[in-house]
A and B are shown apart, each in its own frame.
Chain A
Amino acid sequence: GESVGLHLPTLSVQEGDNSIINCAYSNSASDYFIWYKQESGKGPQFIIDIRSNMDKRQGQRVTVLLNKTVKHLSLQIAATQPGDSAVYFCAETPNTGGFKTIFGAGTRLFVKA
C-alpha cells in the first residue's frame, strides 16, 4: 500500500552542524513532495517542496533531495539553529491531485546549544 515513513523518529544535532532528515515513500505515482515543520503547539508550516521532475531544490538554509529510483526524500538543514527544533514531516501527493496527500509520522529534531 501507499506509505510515507521516516527512517529516524528523533534526531539530535549540535548547533551549527548540518541536519539531514530522511523519508521513504512507496507510491511511485507521487509527483509532488513537501516538507513541513511543526513547532510545539502549532500547526505544520511549509518549508520547501519539490516536484518529481527535479532531484534537488534549495531554499534558505534548506535543501530537499529526491531520489526516485529508491523512492527516498531528504531534507538538509545547514548550520542548524535552536529555532530549528521541531517535528519535521514529509508529505507526498499522487499525480491524481492534492486531495489525498499522505503525511509521514514525523521526525523530532533536537538542537543542542
Chain B
Amino acid sequence: NAGVTQTPKFQVLKTGQSMTLQCAQDMNHNSMYWYRQDPGMGLRLIYYSASEGTTDKGEVPNGYNVSRLNKREFSLRLESAAPSQTSVYFCASRDQQGLNTEAFFGQGTRLTVV
C-alpha cells in the first residue's frame, strides 16, 4: 500500500498565482486533513474532512479552499498565493470508526511563494 500520496513535492509560485495540492489515500480512511508546518511551530490544521462530502475549517483556513473529491482524495487550493503561504504542507488521513487513532501523513509539499 502506498498510504498517503501528495503531489507535487516541490512548487515555486509567484505572488497571485493559484495552484492545487493533491492528496490521495488508499487505506479507506474516513477523515482527511491538510496541515502546514512552519519553522519552530507545530503542525497547524488548515482544513479537514471528517467524511466524504464534508469539509470544515481548521485553525488557519484563510487563503485556502479544499475539495473532498471522493473518499480517497482531498485537495487543497490556493486561489491567490501570498508569501505568507510559503510553508511545507502535509496531508494526513485517519480511520475514525472507533476510538481515537493515529494519523498517517504524506511526504509533504514544499511550497515557496515569491
Residues of B13-50 whose CB lies within 8 A of A: 31, 35, 40-45, 48, 50
Q: Which residues of B contact A46 (CB under 8 A)?
A: 102-104
- Across the two chains, which residue of chain B brings its CB closest to A103? B42
A105 touches B42 (CB 8 A): yes
B108 touches A43 (CB 8 A): yes
Complex CA–CA separation, A96 to B111 (angstroms):
32
| Other A-B pairs, 19, CB within 8 Å; known A44-B43, A44-B103, A89-B42 | A31-B100, A32-B99, A41-B108, A43-B92, A43-B106, A44-B90, A46-B102, A46-B104, A51-B99, A51-B100, A93-B100, A97-B100, A98-B94, A98-B100, A98-B101, A98-B103, A100-B58, A101-B45, A105-B41
Complex CA–CA separation, A45 to B4 (angstroms):
12
Q: Does A64 contact B (CB under 8 A)?
A: no
- Interface size for B (C-beta < 8 A) is 27
B96 touches A98 (CB 8 A): yes
Complex CA–CA separation, A102 to B42 (angstroms):
8
Q: Which residues of A contact B50 (CB under 8 A)?
A: 99
Interface residues in chain B, defined as those with a beta carbon under 8 Å from any beta carbon in chain A: 4, 31, 35, 40-45, 48, 50, 56, 58, 90, 92, 94, 96, 99-108
- Write 25 A-B pairs (CB below 8 A) sorted by A numbering: A31-B100, A32-B99, A34-B103, A42-B107, A42-B108, A43-B90, A43-B92, A43-B107, A43-B108, A44-B43, A44-B103, A45-B105, A46-B104, A49-B102, A51-B100, A89-B42, A89-B43, A93-B100, A97-B100, A98-B94, A98-B96, A98-B101, A99-B56, A103-B42, A106-B42
